[in-house]
Amino acid sequence: MDKFIVSARKYRPQTFDTVVGQQHITTTLKNAIKQSQLAHAFLFCGPRGVGKTTCARILAKTINCEHATPEGEACNECNSCVSFNQGTSLNIHELDAASNNSVDDIRTLVDQVRFAPQAGKYKVYIIDEVHMLSSSAFNAFLKTLEEPPSYAIFILATTEKHKILPTILSRCQIFDFKRITTNDTVEHLEAICEKEGVTADKAALQTIAQKSEGCMRDALSIMDKIVSFTNGELNYNNTLEHLNILDEDYYFRLIDFMLQQDLSGAMLLYDDINRKGFEGDLVLNGFASFIRNLLVSKDEKVVALLDTVESFKQRYIDAAKNIPPAILISALNILNEAEIGYRAARNKRLHVELTLIKLCYLQQAIELTAGDSALHKKKIAEKATAVPFRKIRPILVDPSKAEKKTEIKQPGIEGARLIIEAPKQPPVVAPVPAEPKPAGTRKIASLEKLRKQFKENNKEQIDIPLTQETLNAAWKDFIVQLKENKNSAAQSFDLAQLKVLDENSFYVYTANAIEYRFVESCKTETSEFLQQKLSNSQLQFYIIKRENREVHESSEPKPLTAVQQYQKMIEKYPLVKELKEKLKMELDR
Ligand SMILES: [Zn+2]
What CATH number did the domain enclosing 468 receive?
Answer: 3.30.300.180
Peptide bond just before 426 cis, omega within 30 deg:
no
Q: Give the Å distance between the CA of 71 and the centre of ligand 1.
A: 13
Q: Give the Å distance between the CA of 146 and the centre of ligand 1.
A: 29
Q: Give the Å distance between the CA of 57 and the centre of ligand 1.
A: 13
Distance between CA atoms of residues 84 and 93, nearest Å: 11
Domain of 148? 22-176
pLDDT at position 440, please? 47
Same domain, 293 and 341: yes
Buried b (16+ CB within 10 A) or exposed e, 402-420: ebeebebebeeeeeeeeeb
Same domain, 79 and 163: yes
Q: What are phi and psi of 409, to 5 degrees?
A: -85, 125
Q: Give the Å distance between the CA of 62 and the centre of ligand 1.
A: 7
pLDDT at position 558, please? 61
Q: Give the Å distance between the CA of 79 and the centre of ligand 1.
A: 7
Helices (H), 434-467: 442-457
Helices (H), 298-404: 313-321, 325-342, 348-360, 362-383, 399-402
Same domain, 168 and 29: yes
Q: Give the Å distance between the CA of 485 and the centre of ligand 1.
A: 105
Q: Give the Å distance between the CA of 67 and the centre of ligand 1.
A: 5
Q: Give the Å distance between the CA of 123 and the centre of ligand 1.
A: 15
Q: Give the Å distance between the CA of 70 and the centre of ligand 1.
A: 12
Same domain, 77 and 95: yes
**With contact defined as beta carbons under 8 Å apart, do 406 and 560 qualify?**
no
pLDDT at position 433, please? 47
Q: 3-state class of 286 per DSSP? A: helix
Q: Is residue 225 part of a domain?
A: yes
pTM, two decimals, is 0.56
Distance between CA atoms of residues 2 and 232, nearest Å: 9
Q: What are phi and psi of 212, to 5 degrees?
A: -80, -10
Q: Give the Å distance between the CA of 376 and the centre of ligand 1.
A: 80
Q: Give the Å distance between the CA of 20 and the centre of ligand 1.
A: 21
List, as one string, the DSSP characters of 396-430: ---HHHH--EEEEE-TTSTT-EEEEEPPPPPP--T
The C-alpha angle 402, 403, 409, rounded to 5 degrees, equals 135
Same domain, 252 and 190: no
Q: Is residue 370 part of a domain?
A: no
Q: Is residue 455 part of a domain?
A: yes
Distance between CA atoms of residues 443 and 428, nearest Å: 15
**CB contact set of 263 (below 8 Å; sequence gap of 6+):** 257, 356, 357, 360, 361
| Distances 181 to 25, 186, 475 between C-alpha atoms, Å | 15, 9, 85
Q: 3-state class of 45 per DSSP? A: strand
Q: Give the Å distance between the CA of 65 and the centre of ligand 1.
A: 4
pLDDT at position 522, please? 84
Q: Give the Å distance between the CA of 69 and the centre of ligand 1.
A: 9
Angle between helix axes 523-533 and 513-521 (nearest 10 degrees) is 60
| Distances 319 to 255, 262, 289, 357 between C-alpha atoms, Å | 9, 17, 15, 21
The C-alpha angle 62, 65, 71, rounded to 5 degrees, equals 55
Q: Is residue 390 part of a domain?
A: no
pLDDT at position 213, please? 86
Q: Is residue 537 part of a domain?
A: yes
Distance between CA atoms of residues 199 and 518, nearest Å: 87
Q: Is residue 17 part of a domain?
A: no
Q: Give the Å distance between the CA of 73 and the centre of ligand 1.
A: 9
Pairing of strands 173-176, 199-200: unpaired
First vs last C-alpha separation in the chain: 113
Q: Give the Å distance between the CA of 64 and the centre of ligand 1.
A: 7
The count of domains in the chain is 4
Same domain, 441 and 454: yes
| Distances 286 to 72, 249, 348, 481 between C-alpha atoms, Å | 45, 11, 16, 64
Q: Give the Å distance between the CA of 56 and the centre of ligand 1.
A: 16
pLDDT at position 447, please? 67
Q: Give the Å distance between the CA of 262 and the centre of ligand 1.
A: 68
Contacts by residues 489-495 (CB-CB < 8 Å, ≥ 24 positions apart): 489/518, 489/519, 489/521, 489/522, 491/518, 492/518, 492/519, 493/518, 493/519, 493/522, 493/526
Q: Give the Å distance between the CA of 37 and the centre of ligand 1.
A: 19
Q: Give the Å distance between the CA of 505 and the centre of ligand 1.
A: 113
Same domain, 83 and 213: no
pLDDT tens, position by position, 249-307: 899 999 999 999 899 999 999 999 999 888 898 899 999 999 999 999 988 888 888 87
Q: What are phi and psi of 498, to 5 degrees?
A: -110, 145
pLDDT at position 402, please? 47
Distance between CA atoms of residues 31 and 310, nearest Å: 37
Q: Give the Å distance between the CA of 122 and the centre of ligand 1.
A: 13
Same domain, 153 and 209: no
| Distances 64 to 61, 78, 286 between C-alpha atoms, Å | 5, 10, 49
Same domain, 81 and 38: yes
**CB contact set of 329 (below 8 Å; sequence gap of 6+):** 295
Q: Give the Å distance between the CA of 89 and the centre of ligand 1.
A: 12
Same domain, 544 and 438: yes
Q: Give the Å distance between the CA of 121 and the centre of ligand 1.
A: 12
Distance between CA atoms of residues 169 and 151, nearest Å: 21
Distance between CA atoms of residues 137 and 147, nearest Å: 17
Pairing of strands 505-510, 540-545: parallel
Q: Give the Å distance between the CA of 53 and the centre of ligand 1.
A: 19
Q: Give the Å distance between the CA of 36 and the centre of ligand 1.
A: 16
Distance between CA atoms of residues 274 and 226, nearest Å: 23
Q: Give the Å distance between the CA of 90 and the centre of ligand 1.
A: 15
pLDDT at position 186, please? 92
List, as one string, the DSSP characters of 195-233: HHT-EE-HHHHHHHHHHHTT-HHHHHHHHHHHHHHHTTE
- Residue 357 sits in a domain of what CATH number? 1.20.272.10
Torsion of CA 537, 538, 543, 544, to 10 degrees: -150
Q: Is residue 189 part of a domain?
A: yes
Q: Give the Å distance between the CA of 80 and the centre of ligand 1.
A: 6
Q: Give the Å distance between the CA of 68 and the centre of ligand 1.
A: 6
Q: Give the Å distance between the CA of 303 and the centre of ligand 1.
A: 46
Q: Give the Å distance between the CA of 106 and the centre of ligand 1.
A: 30
Q: Give the Å distance between the CA of 127 and the centre of ligand 1.
A: 23
Q: Give the Å distance between the CA of 225 and the centre of ligand 1.
A: 34
80 alpha-carbon distance from chain centroid:
60
pLDDT lower than 50: segments of the chain: 1-2, 377-389, 402-423, 428-441, 549-555
Q: Give the Å distance between the CA of 369 and the centre of ligand 1.
A: 72
Q: Give the Å distance between the CA of 93 and the centre of ligand 1.
A: 18
Q: Give the Å distance between the CA of 202 and the centre of ligand 1.
A: 36
pLDDT tens, position by position, 69-126: 888 899 989 999 999 988 898 889 999 988 988 889 888 888 888 888 888 889 999 9
Q: What are phi and psi of 76, to 5 degrees?
A: 65, 15
- Residue 118 sits in a domain of what CATH number? 3.40.50.300
Q: Is residue 520 part of a domain?
A: yes
Q: Give the Å distance between the CA of 154 and the centre of ligand 1.
A: 20
Q: Give the Å distance between the CA of 84 and the centre of ligand 1.
A: 9
Q: Give the Å distance between the CA of 85 and the centre of ligand 1.
A: 10
Distance between CA atoms of residues 185 and 169, nearest Å: 30
Same domain, 239 and 254: no
Same domain, 228 and 164: no
320 alpha-carbon distance from chain centroid:
21
Buried b (16+ CB within 10 A) or exposed e, 458-495: eeeeeeeebeeebbeebbeebbebbeeeebebbebbee
